[in-house]
Structure 1
């Protein structure tokens, strides 16, 4: 059996149906960790792969550095704030097998995977068969057709909200600050409007996806989930320098997991440092009015999909 898995962020979530290889993956890694080559398992990875389990998990984790740590859903500690705190302070990457959301962890909507069997054998009863299991994203990208939403809900109450609130005001669309990602579901559920656009930081929005997607059975909810507002600004073309462009093409090559547990934190740090002492000096808590000037705002708007929140003359 061969399983391929790409890990690019601190937190990767494995979900999906039974009998797709999740448990087998962890068993193979555990066998290799215990017996090495004698296990008959071959692991091709740039860093060590470890299994974390049992009641002594915190002690065991203290001895693991610069590794990919795999944890099964049967490990109840994975859902604790103690684990979240310990993971934040480590230099490791984590692959978590979890069917339920983990709200204490800021994992990306793009890093929630299922395992799928890609065996293409046409033999009905194969005696020897190699199973190739690869990953697929549970939540795909939203498509936007420019339809005007009845209301816009923005995750935070800071600079990102201030920017989108101006765009919505110019288009006559109510714009609401959720005051945090965990509040979005309740706000959307209790609004009388059916056509709702949710704007949130995709880099840490993974735990909320299951709830928001369930609402789509009753309401027409569109999800715009860029990495973060700061990421939108950095990719707007306002910063054409070579390093910024290379960083945006390959963030994982620039982000040190021990320093930034979420990519949103990294992009915020980058924008603050890049604009320090300039007319675009950035603060997450309050939006610099320079970002609402025609040229600057226009550059950011060009990077947006057709969300339906710009005046018709700007769509």
Structure 2
């Protein structure tokens, strides 16, 4: 399934209206914020339709998944938006992640915990915002699309940590020109440990926002405590390259990736951007490989196009 879908569900006391554009959406927040009420409305409408006194508007069927027989129930659901309330521990399992990966459904999961086995975007983590009887979804980590925290751009980076250990690390390590330390965390689950172990130096971590959602609770708490630490969260390294303009005919795709990234093929948009860049550069001097960076990306002309993006201005400051 691909595309963006608007959902409106209401009874005589409350109304929820929001849109989904990726295969995994997380709703979090404290008790009594309306998370369970939303799922209850979907469930009751599914069981009783308009006789429930609930109205639901959505292009796709909305269903609730729960209980010990979740896997057999899920196997019957196709091209749906599936809601899962907190307390269903199966969402933490590798088995559930495996089913989501091959599913043509979208999933809306209510949870306060980070789900390590699911690669969900920090952009799709929401709390519920209520005004009167009307409720919508409010992004929790939207500010992370910029450098998070109180990182002072007048103070140069002393250490840069990349989630990527392959092409992304090769690029940022070259950009550093040995004026600051650049090291790889190896994977997203090591970012917190690397930041925690850092000292008083100014440290910036660069991660793939398209799949970093499960780590955000821990990392954001640490960033609040340690003001010398910062986080930069583009969709992915491949997205940075595509966004820079060195690859042509991708503007419309980048504007609305949800219309092109089919959830049955791509577990996360990070995978989608990798395939897009690989396919667009195949047979050219910019042929892209995730395992090892093509040296042509380090030529002055290409490197400067990438670094001239406003979102990478902080790196320019640190190597001048």
TM-score in terms of structure 1 length: 0.92
Does 1:91 pair with 2:93? no
What SS is found at the alignment partner of 2:27? strand
CA 1:312/1:105 → structure 2, altered by over 3 Å: closer, same or farther?
closer
Q: Please give the residue correspondences for 1:32-111 in structure 2 after superposition, counting only pairs within 5 Å.
A: 32-111=45-124
Does 1:158 pair with 2:160? no
Does 1:136 pair with 2:138? yes
- Map Cα deviations across residues 163-217 of structure 1 (whole Å, 9 max, x no partner): 01111125x0101100001011111111223421010100000011111111120
Q: Is the 8 A contact 2:122 2:142 kept in 1?
A: no
Q: Is the 8 A contact 1:88 1:258 kept in 2?
A: yes
Q: 1:286 aligns with which of 282, 286, 292?
A: 292
What SS is found at the alignment partner of 1:280? coil
What SS is found at the alignment partner of 2:177? helix
User: Who is 2:207 aligned against?
Assistant: 200
Q: Is the 8 A contact 2:167 2:289 kept in 1?
A: yes
Instruction: Please give the alpha-carbon distance, in whole angstroms, between the structure 2 residues aligned to 1:48 and 1:313.
Output: 52
Q: 1:231 aligns with which of 233, 239, 243?
A: 239
Does 1:266 pair with 2:272? yes
User: Who is 1:257 aligned against?
Assistant: 263
What SS is found at the alignment partner of 1:169? coil
Instruction: Please give the alpha-carbon distance, in whole angstroms, between the structure 1 residues aligned to 2:67 and 2:119.
Output: 23
User: Who is 1:183 aligned against?
Assistant: 190
- What value does the CA root-mean-square deviation take over the aligned residues? 1.5
**What is the number of equivalent residue pairs in this alignment?**
300
What SS is found at the alignment partner of 2:189? helix
CA 1:313/1:26 → structure 2, altered by over 3 Å: closer, same or farther?
closer
Does 1:13 pair with 2:15? no
Runs of 5+ unmatched residues, structure 2: 1-13
CA displacement at 1:219 relative to structure 2: 4.2
Q: Is the 8 A contact 1:20 1:133 kept in 2?
A: no
Q: Is the 8 A contact 1:168 1:310 kept in 2?
A: no
TM-score in terms of structure 2 length: 0.90
Q: Is the 8 A contact 1:173 1:309 kept in 2?
A: no
CA displacement at 1:308 relative to structure 2: 3.0
User: Who is 1:222 aligned against?
Assistant: 230
CA displacement at 1:116 relative to structure 2: 1.2
CA 1:222/1:312 → structure 2, altered by over 3 Å: closer, same or farther?
closer
What SS is found at the alignment partner of 1:141? helix
What SS is found at the alignment partner of 1:270? helix
Runs of 5+ unmatched residues, structure 1: 120-130
Higher strand share: 2
